[in-house]
Amino acid sequence: MTYKSSVPMFWRLQGSKYRLVGTRCTKCNSVFFPPRSLCPKCRRKGTVEEMTFSGKGEIISYTIIRTAPEGFEKYVPYAVAIIKLDEGTNISGQIVGNNIEGMAIGMRVRPVFRRMFEDGDRGLIQYGIKWEIDKGDSTS
């Protein structure tokens, strides 16, 4: 059983599993995630520096997944959303938690550190960042 090829691009591109590290152009303040080494607006006139994103933001579109690809069956239902981060760029990610059915565009989300998938052949467990609906209180 292998499903490495079905792991979304976002997870494979993520430089750090523990932080959302992107870059920011110091000239025009554009932010990039995944990180870019060159600002497409400023090109060589700009300088990009590493920037860690809070991961907080709001949902701008989403799809609820009820039939999962191989390896993700145990997580259904879950949602894959485009999140507009507070820092000003969009990111795609998985939304988990008990509030999936009640989610809506415009809702706030916050990052959580969760199990991503298990490698069935080798018993490896991958962890990474997912999101949950942020109801504005500390309970989840």
Region binding Zn ion by CB under 5 A among candidate stretches 37-45, 50-58, 73-81, 126-134: 37-45
Q: Give the residues across from 48 on adjacent strands.
A: 25
Tell me: does residue 25 bind Zn ion (CB under 5 A).
yes
Q: Does 40 bind Zn ion (CB under 5 A)?
A: no
Is there binding between residue 51 and Zn ion (CB under 5 A)? Answer: no
Q: What is the dihedral of CA 13, 111, 4, 100, to 10 degrees?
A: -130
Question: Quick one: 23 or 94, whose CB is closer to Zn ion?
Answer: 23
Is residue 27 near Zn ion by the rule CB under 5 A? yes
CB of 82 to Zn ion, least distance (A): 23
Burial class (CB in 10 A: 0-12, 13-18, 19+), 92: middle
What's the length of the chain? 140
Give the separation between CA 135 and CA 86, rounded to whole angstroms. Answer: 16
**Which residue ranges make up the site for Zn ion (CB under 5 A)?**
25, 27-28, 30, 39, 41-42, 46
